[in-house]
Amino acid sequence: MAAIEPVQFAASILSADFCRLGEQVEEALKAGIRLIHVDVMDGLFVPNLSMGPNIVKALQPLKNKYGAQIHAHLMIIDPDRYITNFVQAGADGIIVHIEACPHLLQTIRNIRSLGARTGVALNPATPLIMLEEILAEVDFTLIMSVEPGFGGQEFIQTSLDKIARLHKLLFHHHLEHVKIAVDGGIHLPIAASIVKAGAHTLVVGSEIFNSRASVSKNFQALCTEFINSR
């Protein structure tokens, strides 16, 4: 089991109320979140459509006000076509899927050349060995713990072993600076186990953007439960 390190929560706005997007994002930032996760879908790589660069651009005033960052998670075919658009719109990090990039090294170097942080995501059925040759080139990895495309899915329990194995792989290659993010189905009971397995960033959506309570109260409950579970 990995040693517990400081954890970062990223707010996935896919689960937010888009009639009150700015209000809810600001509430998350006021509560202490400093990373906004923007899911971008094309209806091809995943069976859903979602946000584009204009959403990233619209969130810039809030990002700058609170000293936050925005990561664009490109769940799209041929992401190279849009990387520049998202960086120019203000994305601080770009996440691409290994399954969607036939020339992944070039894609990663393109992102880095634009001054953005580089991330590579893996779908649940994609083996870790697919990452091994690229790990030294990225800032972080994103383990999908649900099938990408829709919010509100249940966490895939076998992801815990995958996270732990990736943590060991990074240690073996002396790449401890490469962070592990996890996205999908992260709720109160499982959050601490994900971090204990080796994750540094938890992408949360429906756990904080829901009708049970306000964003700030939901995030406070998540943090409290996480601390008590450690």
Main-chain phi, psi angles of 24, to 5 degrees: -70, -40
Q: Whose CA is closest to 186, among 226, 220, 224?
A: 226
Pairing mode, if any, of strands 201-204 and 179-183? parallel
Q: What does the DSSP 8-state code read for residue 49?
A: B
> Are the beta carbons of 149 and 169 closer than 8 angstroms?
no
Task: List the catalytic residue out of 17, 39, 42, 92.
Answer: 39
Cα(226)–Cα(44) distance, integer angstroms: 36
Cα(123)–Cα(54) distance, integer angstroms: 26
Task: List the catalytic residue out of 80, 92, 139, 183.
Answer: 183
**DSSP three-state, residue 136:** helix
Q: How far is CA 89 from CA 54, 61, 151, 171, in A?
A: 7, 12, 24, 35
**39 annotated active-site:** yes
**161 annotated active-site:** no
Known catalytic residues are 39, 183
